[in-house]
Chains A and B, each alone.
Chain A
Amino acid sequence: MRVPQIRGARAGVLVVAGAAALAPLLVPEVFLNVASRAILFGIVGLSINVLIGYTGQVSLGHAAFVGIGAFGAGFAQTEMVLPFPVALVFAGLTGGVAAVVLGGVALRVRGLYLALVTLAYGIFAQEVIFNIRSLTGGGAGMPAPRPSFATGNLAYAYMCLGLLGVAIAFDRRLTSSRAGRAIQALRDDERVAASWGVNVTAYKLLGFVISGAMAGIAGGLLASVEQIVAPLDFAFTLSLTFLLMAVIGGVGSRAGAVVAGVFVASLPTLLDAAHRNIPFPPFSVLNASFSPLVVALLVLIGFLFFPGGFAEVGRTIAGAVRARAARSRAAAAVAVASDPLIDVSVGEGAHAGA
């Protein structure tokens, strides 16, 4: 008698992927743009995870890369009159270049000082670069139209979902290839990485480039959600939100990064919906404007009890599920062994002489 195996992780991933694929159809039309933003925050989360989780750097100014990508895409479409896909590639390029500049600084400056530099960099981008009228349309903003094949909200949401899938696939390829291992190795110990032939400088910068390019592409896509980009969209408080997002998700976890991104972006809408429909506290008190409060609280709770963020919570739950499954398998085995009606000497695979 065989106890059914639990194909834990595989099944879970398929279920989640299936649900995600159906989600845009189930979301009410009015929330489709929010859903797109949430999906794109997932990509931003992945890009931060590459920088903080895989490369081991700190990033207090990540909104700069996203914003540069957003304005890059807008500029490419409006001023350079390039089609959407090319504009997106351009967004990735500008994000990557902006990141590699910061990466160059990160080679010389460490720890807290680097944190401050990234902060200054982020604010600098928002206040200076995003306000250069010729590049970004100044305060009024720059138009960023959608591609002709995805003008509707539903189509755009599906396009974003598809690209999130591509980003996740890329991330998986990254971590199981020599480049990803080199980057993570230098995060833990630069000398050891060098002693295995890793050019520490080059791969550290590569980590920045990948992170910046992903952020830039996410920015380009975000620009076309509302089809206009303005400097205020990328204030440095957004950088802080991104940082907290990474912490909530669990640094180094791909799934955690995506979940945290989707969660943070949807939080205001979720809070509003809960506020309207659930008549008792805390939802009766919290509405959308409490979103930053909830995020900050989650971070602090995370630091105190779950330093690994969502990822750790997920692992704990998965571990508990597996433990229960193992216990029930063991219990079933004991039941079989002690059942007088079942002959235990004839088991699976005991086809002697067949």
Chain B
Amino acid sequence: MPVLEARDIAIRFGGVQALDGIDFSVDEWEIVGILGPNGAGKTTFFNCVSGFSRPDRGSIHFRGQDITAMRPDERVALGIGRTFQQVGLVRSFTVAENLLAAQHLTAAYTNLSGFVGAPRARARERVMRDRAMTVLEFMGLADLAGETLSGLSYGTLKMVEVAAAIAVDPQVLMLDEPLAGLAPEEATEFGDRLLVMRRELGLAVVIVDHHVPQVLRVADYVYVLNFGSLLAQGSPEEIRVNPAVAEAYMGKEATSVA
């Protein structure tokens, strides 16, 4: 059974049909890419799946359970994590504090015990701090733990955001344009890290991005959106030589993407 599934998702904004009947699924440990030109509806789709937008039609399922009516934070509790197009971090927190805040659901102590400083709360906080450091080390950001966000570069902030999303301990991680603004070497490095993440953390990953070569390199399966509809879907090789996809991205003369 797929871990995450979307059936016939459609949504309309103002006069525009942003999504028109999208079917989508992610299997355990799969890396699924979503491609499409600007305005294709990729982020809108993400918002529907993660609960920030309510579709007019269709349903979302997590391990068979219908989650269409759930709030975003309820979906996180099930195991869906995500990042945002504009870097989604708490600006006034340090890197480490962001990672601690992201462990909100795995903190495993009651707020009341937190207020009175009970031993359980203190112990769990130590565990959370250790976990935050582990994740930062995994992402190669350990030496930035105590830094405030304001001094960090855009690329670094994106990495911190992914670290926080990992700290949530999701089963499916949805990344919204994680490669945007990254230099080519950084993008390749991130792609490699993604493969390591899948292997070591046992995650399924959904990645939306414009960086076609990188997505085709790491994904197991790719969906291509255009003007709110599914233009094509298949393995990276199939997508690479798909003429309709090439035309959507690069005009009538192109024969392949990347």
Count A interface residues, CB 8 Å. 27
Chain A neighbourhood of B114, CB < 8 A: 173-174, 177-180
The answer to whether A195 and B82 have CB atoms under 8 Å apart is: yes
A180, B125: Cα distance in complex, Å: 13
A180, B52: Cα distance in complex, Å: 23
Count B interface residues, CB 8 Å. 37
Could you say which of A179, A180, A197 contacts B73, with CB atoms under 8 Å apart? A197
A294 at the interface (CB under 8 A from B): no
Majority SS at the chain A contact face: helix
Chain A's closest residue to B102 (CB) is A196
B22 at the interface (CB under 8 A from A): no
Interface positions of A from 164 to 191, Cβ below 8 Å from B? 169-170, 173-174, 176-182, 184-185, 188-189, 191
B28 at the interface (CB under 8 A from A): no
Q: With A173-B116, A196-B101 given, is the CB distance from A184 to B92 under 8 Å?
A: yes
A173, B168: Cα distance in complex, Å: 22
B11 at the interface (CB under 8 A from A): no
Chain B neighbourhood of A197, CB < 8 A: 73, 76-77, 104-105, 168
A196, B103: Cα distance in complex, Å: 7
Chain A neighbourhood of B100, CB < 8 A: 178, 181
The proximity string for B residues 76-106 relative to A, scoring 1 for CB distances below 8 Å and 0 otherwise, is 1100011110001111110001001111110
A189, B101: Cα distance in complex, Å: 12
Chain B's closest residue to A176 (CB) is B125
The answer to whether B50 and A188 have CB atoms under 8 Å apart is: no
The answer to whether B101 and A191 have CB atoms under 8 Å apart is: no
Could you say which of A169, A181, A199, A200 contacts B101, with CB atoms under 8 Å apart? A181
Chain B neighbourhood of A19, CB < 8 A: none
Could you say which of B51, B84, B115 contacts A179, with CB atoms under 8 Å apart? B115
Chain A's closest residue to B50 (CB) is A195
Interface positions of B from 122 to 140, Cβ below 8 Å from A? 125
Chain B's closest residue to A174 (CB) is B115
The answer to whether A181 and B72 have CB atoms under 8 Å apart is: no
A273 at the interface (CB under 8 A from B): no
Q: With A178-B109, A197-B77 given, is the CB distance from A184 to B104 under 8 Å?
A: no
The proximity string for B residues 39-79 relative to A, scoring 1 for CB distances below 8 Å and 0 otherwise, is 00000000000111000000000000000000111001100
Q: With A177-B121, A177-B125, A178-B111 given, is the CB distance from A195 to B81 under 8 Å?
A: yes
The answer to whether A177 and B93 have CB atoms under 8 Å apart is: no
The answer to whether A195 and B84 have CB atoms under 8 Å apart is: yes
The answer to whether A173 and B90 have CB atoms under 8 Å apart is: no
Q: With A177-B125, A199-B73 given, is the CB distance from A182 to B101 under 8 Å?
A: yes
A176, B103: Cα distance in complex, Å: 13
A198, B92: Cα distance in complex, Å: 17
Q: With A179-B115, A196-B101, A197-B76 given, is the CB distance from A191 to B71 under 8 Å?
A: no
Chain B's closest residue to A186 (CB) is B90
CB distance from A29 to the nearest CB of B (A): 36
B107 at the interface (CB under 8 A from A): yes
B6 at the interface (CB under 8 A from A): no
Q: With A174-B115, A177-B125 given, is the CB distance from A199 to B107 under 8 Å?
A: no
Q: With A177-B111, A192-B88, A196-B168 given, is the CB distance from A185 to B101 under 8 Å?
A: yes
Chain B neighbourhood of A180, CB < 8 A: 114
A332, B147: Cα distance in complex, Å: 29
Chain A neighbourhood of B82, CB < 8 A: 195
A192, B167: Cα distance in complex, Å: 13
The proximity string for B residues 209-233 relative to A, scoring 1 for CB distances below 8 Å and 0 otherwise, is 0000000000000000000000000
Chain A neighbourhood of B184, CB < 8 A: none
The answer to whether B76 and A194 have CB atoms under 8 Å apart is: yes
Scoring A177, A181, A184, A191 by chain B CB atoms within 10 A of each residue's CB, the highest score goes to A177
Scoring B73, B76, B81, B107 by chain A CB atoms within 10 A of each residue's CB, the highest score goes to B73
Chain A neighbourhood of B104, CB < 8 A: 178, 181-182, 196-198
Could you say which of A174, A179, A195 contacts B88, with CB atoms under 8 Å apart? A195
CB distance from B211 to the nearest CB of A (A): 22
Could you say which of B51, B90, B116 contacts A192, with CB atoms under 8 Å apart? B90
Chain A neighbourhood of B83, CB < 8 A: 195
Q: With A173-B115, A178-B114 given, is the CB distance from A200 to B109 under 8 Å?
A: no
B164 at the interface (CB under 8 A from A): yes
A197, B50: Cα distance in complex, Å: 11
Chain B neighbourhood of A194, CB < 8 A: 51-52, 71-73, 76
B117 at the interface (CB under 8 A from A): yes
Could you say which of A173, A178, A179, A195 contacts B117, with CB atoms under 8 Å apart? A173
A13, B115: Cα distance in complex, Å: 21
CB distance from A107 to the nearest CB of B (A): 13
A334, B103: Cα distance in complex, Å: 46
Q: Which 9 A-B pairs have the closest CB atoms?
A: A177-B114, A197-B105, A197-B76, A194-B72, A181-B101, A192-B88, A179-B111, A178-B107, A196-B102
Additional A-B contact list (9), CB under 8 Å, known A181-B93, A195-B76, A196-B105: A173-B114, A178-B100, A180-B114, A181-B100, A182-B104, A194-B73, A195-B72, A196-B101, A199-B73
Could you name 16 residue pairs across A and B whose Cβ atoms are closer than 8 Å?
A: A173-B117, A179-B114, A181-B97, A181-B100, A184-B92, A188-B90, A188-B93, A189-B88, A191-B84, A192-B88, A193-B101, A195-B76, A196-B104, A196-B105, A197-B73, A200-B73
